[in-house]
Amino acid sequence: MRNPEQFRTLRETWPETHKAWSLCPEPTLWSAYQDGGGAEVETHVWLESMVHLLKPKTVVETGSYFGWSATAMAKGCRDNGFGHVFTFEINDTWIAKARAFAMAEGVGDWVTFLHGDSHTMPWPETSVDLMFCDGSDDRVGEIRRFQPFLSSRALVLAHDAIGGGEYNPQFVWHRLQEEFVRVLLPTPRGLWIMQRRGVPEVEAALREV
């Protein structure tokens, strides 16, 4: 069954409430689900588009929560006709709700919800083409954990680039600056697009363009 009443409140939105910051002076132009625990609605739309654009075979997400972002990326895989999202969630309450949400949205076969710690839960060493980091307070650790599995064309996307204040801890993102080229997207809670430095295929492509 698609869009059952039980998920109605999960789709009610209001203006984003993150405090303004230098590159995002009007956060209320964006929307958030009323529960407040997920990324901005626009971030979910963007994630679906990134899957359309990049055609990843394997997507890894840390932090499923209610499954909004995982479901958005799973919809991208479904539209592509290939690809799969693997999303880690430490809290079993959320993981059950997220699974039910993805099923209700018709993409249950395109996403696997893994119940466990994103830092330590076994990963079958499959190559990762796209990562969305939005889980624990140790986001740098989550990215470092999957770094060895990133394919040559992989991008890492990360939420909460703007930490601190009443909403988020400081995620010490600067610790990744030696290993990744980073672009900061000026959204309410900030997004990173990251690409590993020194990947031979990327370096060769950069010399050709």
> Which residues make up the interface to ligand SAM (CB under 6 A)?
37-39, 62-63, 65-66, 68-69, 88-91, 94, 117-119, 134-136
- State the minimum distance, in angstroms, from the CB of residue 203 to ligand SAM: 31
Neighbours of 3 (CB within 10 A): 11
| Spatial distance between the Cα atoms of 108 and 90, rounded to a whole number of angstroms | 19
CB 105 within 8 A of CB 79: no
Q: What angle do CA 112, 42, 38 make, to 5 degrees?
A: 50
166 vs 208 by CB, closer to ligand SAM = 166
Both tokens assigned to 109: 């076969």
Residue 188, Cβ neighbours under 10 Å: how many? Answer: 26
Residue 186 burial (CB count, 10 A)? 13
CB of 1 to ligand SAM, least distance (A): 21
Least separation, in Å, of the C-beta of 209 and ligand SAM?
33
Contacts of 155 (CB under 8 A, 6+ apart): 50, 54, 130, 131, 193, 194, 195
Write down the least CB distance from residue 205 to ligand SAM, Å.
30
What's the rounded Cα separation, in Å, for the pair 51 and 8?
26
Kindly state the smallest distance separating residue 94's Cβ from ligand SAM, in Å: 5
DSSP state of 30: S
Q: How far is the CB of 88 from ligand SAM (least distance, A)?
A: 4
Alpha helix ranges (H) inside 134-193 = 139-146
Which single residue brings its beta carbon nearest to ligand SAM?
Answer: 63
Q: 């109605």: which residue's tokens?
A: 8
